[in-house]
């Protein structure tokens, strides 16, 4: 009953967000643009751009501000992926600052009395992976930025110190996690009212400890976060709660520059993050759909949605082969080869397996944003602490909410995680390993120039949401606003069910059922934002399912 009530609450808040934000959910600008899941974070990025910063500087500012305004989704205690296009070089760069498993982590660390206890990977100290956010921002600024860390952190520091009105989304996340937050006095002091109740939307909250932490990072953020006093405070707190992250884990953390993956689609070139991201799965799905003449089927018609569902299923089956490439060989040359994609397409078109109904997990513990600057540089960044408020822990005196990224590993073979994804051998836990992720920021190029960028949040629905928004723009020629608001479906092979948004018309859903599919109707599926890019004409939109902000000049 509690879960059902929370779903109703989410539906109400989503409808309210649509009504409140619809007039401003899209924008056009001639020079530069930022779109994110927070109006204040978007303004932080725009402020940096107007002060002469480039897309990487602005992305750093947005990421830090999101850690304040969307503290249930991301922050200094998490990690993510950054896909970068630098116009002067005409090149793409992929920065992996995904969290890692502690050195003391083992493949069987969640086995209790001979049985896997997946809950230990979701809540509490053993759920925490070594954070990568600060290292990622530092490395991006060091290589491509034009501003110092304190310059780009200034908007986030101001938001944390002076306060901001919380959105209905954050209010809902606080309410749903109130018991966890109330269990820690410092956590409760920030996010709950003095009587211990959850604050309503538009309540102004302040995070003075987080503001001080951002200031303490100075202009040597990685050195100050992963070494010295801050690192000792993080490790000491985690140890006091029964966790295994040490100062050595923190001091040894490194972000990794990787080679982006790319593949042709409809005369364009689609660039994505490589493993441990699931970007390759998105390329495979697009490959299966490329010769399908999708516009002829009709957007969101029953035949179109059926084809999407089959392709999604095949993509998620192959996703089990993805993992941290430092530990597992991911056969990308095979998975993205024309032969394999043709075989996967044939399997997709002849599938009729049915499965029982299972409810999907609702995820808000991730944020995505996109930035385009006046020089044509583009950044698509997805950052996360995994589920809402991560491990449900905040480091006292630092204001840092810790991730529960260990749940993205395979807790045990064939044991589903919180998103109902089955654990695979390739993704089992190992010291220093990065868990497989659904985060998939992308940039699409035509004739050597970016024409769109998009990304999303929402656990495994990131993959399918980004897929559908990309198709909406490239195949159906929708603008970003229509592309992100069009109702979506999701299929992830296990459970073998089509999750369909309630906004999909009932006759369409009935037709899919009559075709033999099992459907589960849900209020919404993740959140995706997008920017289309033309010379002198940038057009961006955020997703009203989660809210946000879009602005440019």
What positions carry a catalytic annotation? 366
3-state SS, residue 163 = coil
* Tokens read off for 513: 């059922």
CB 539 within 8 A of CB 15: no
| Residue written as token pair 């006093």 | 229
Q: What is the 3-state secondary structure (H, E, C) of 361-422?
A: CCCCCEEEEEEECCCCCEEEEEEECCCCCCCCCEECCCCEECCCHHHHCECCCCCECCCCCE
3-state SS, residue 241 = coil
CB 490 within 8 A of CB 498: yes
541, exposed or middle or buried, with CB in 10 Å at 0-12, 13-18, 19+?
buried
Cα torsion 116, 279, 458, 226: sign: positive
Peptide bond into 276 cis (omega under 30): yes
* Tokens read off for 349: 């078109």
Peptide bond into 173 cis (omega under 30): no
| Residue written as token pair 């001979």 | 114
Q: How far apart are CA 56 and CA 49, in angstroms?
A: 10
Q: How far apart are CA 476 and CA 464, in angstroms?
A: 16
What phi, psi does 35 have (nearest 5°)?
-135, 130
Cα separation of the two ends of the chain? 47
Q: How far apart are CA 374 and CA 50, in angstroms?
A: 10
Question: Minimal CA–CA distance to 152: which of 367, 379, 364?
Answer: 379
Distance of CA 98 to the CA centre of its chain: 11
């Amino acid at each position: 009953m509690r879960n059902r009530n929370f779903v109703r609450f989410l539906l109400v808040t989503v409808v309210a967000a649509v009504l409140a934000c619809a007039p401003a959910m899209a924008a056009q600008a001639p020079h530069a643009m930022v779109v994110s899941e927070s109006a204040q974070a978007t303004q932080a990025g725009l402020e940096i751009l107007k002060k002469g910063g480039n897309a990487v500087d602005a992305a750093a500012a947005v990421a830090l501000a999101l850690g304040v305004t969307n503290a249930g989704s991301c922050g200094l205690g998490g990690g993510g992926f950054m896909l970068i296009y630098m116009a002067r070089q005409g090149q793409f760069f992929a920065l992996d600052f995904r969290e890692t498993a502690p050195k003391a982590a083992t493949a069987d660390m969640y086995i209790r009395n001979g049985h896997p206890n997946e809950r230990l990977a979701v809540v509490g100290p053993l759920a925490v992976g070594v954070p990568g956010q600060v290292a990622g921002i530092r490395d991006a600024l060091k290589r491509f930025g034009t501003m110092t860390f304190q310059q780009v952190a200034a908007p986030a520091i101001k938001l944390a110190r002076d306060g901001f009105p919380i959105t209905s989304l954050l209010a809902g996340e606080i309410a749903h996690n109130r018991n966890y937050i109330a269990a820690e006095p410092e956590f409760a002091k920030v996010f709950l009212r003095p009587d211990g109740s959850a604050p309503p939307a538009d309540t102004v909250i302040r995070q003075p400890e987080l503001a001080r932490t951002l200031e303490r990072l100075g202009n040597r953020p990685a050195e100050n976060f992963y070494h010295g006093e801050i690192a000792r405070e993080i490790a000491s707190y985690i140890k006091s709660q029964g966790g295994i992250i040490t100062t050595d884990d923190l001091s040894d953390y490194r972000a990794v520059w990787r080679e982006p993956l790319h593949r042709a689609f409809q005369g364009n070139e689609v660039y994505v993050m490589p493993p441990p991201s699931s970007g390759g799965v998105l390329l495979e799905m697009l490959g299966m759909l490329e010769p399908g003449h999708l516009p002829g089927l009709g957007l969101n018609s029953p035949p179109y949605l059926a084809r999407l569902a089959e392709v999604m299923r095949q993509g998620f089956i192959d996703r089990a082969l993805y993992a941290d490439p430092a530990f597992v060989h991911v056969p990308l040359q095979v998975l993205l080869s024309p032969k394999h994609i043709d075989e996967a397409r044939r399997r997709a078109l002849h599938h009729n397996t049915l499965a029982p109904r299972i409810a999907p997990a609702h995820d808000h513990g991730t944020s995505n944003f996109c930035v385009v600057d006046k020089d044509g540089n583009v950044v698509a960044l997805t950052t996360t602490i995994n589920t809402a408020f991560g491990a449900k822990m905040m480091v006292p005196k630092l204001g840092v909410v810790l991730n529960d990224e260990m749940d993205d590993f395979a807790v045990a073979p064939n044991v589903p995680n919180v998103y109902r994804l089955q654990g695979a051998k390739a993704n089992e836990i190992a010291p220093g390993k990065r868990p497989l992720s659904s985060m998939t920021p992308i940039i699409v190029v035509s004739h050597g120039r970016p024409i769109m960028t998009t990304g999303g949040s929402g656990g495994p629905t990131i993959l399918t949401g980004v897929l559908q928004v990309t198709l909406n723009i490239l195949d159906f020629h929708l603008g970003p606003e229509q592309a992100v608001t069009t109702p979506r479906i999701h299929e992830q092979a296990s459970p073998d069910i089509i999750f369909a948004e309630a906004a999909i018309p009932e006759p369409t859903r009935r037709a899919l059922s009559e075709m033999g599919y099992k459907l589960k109707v849900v209020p919404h599926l993740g959140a995706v934002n997008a920017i289309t890019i033309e010379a002198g004409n940038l057009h961006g939109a955020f997703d009203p399912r989660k809210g946000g902000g879009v602005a440019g000049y």
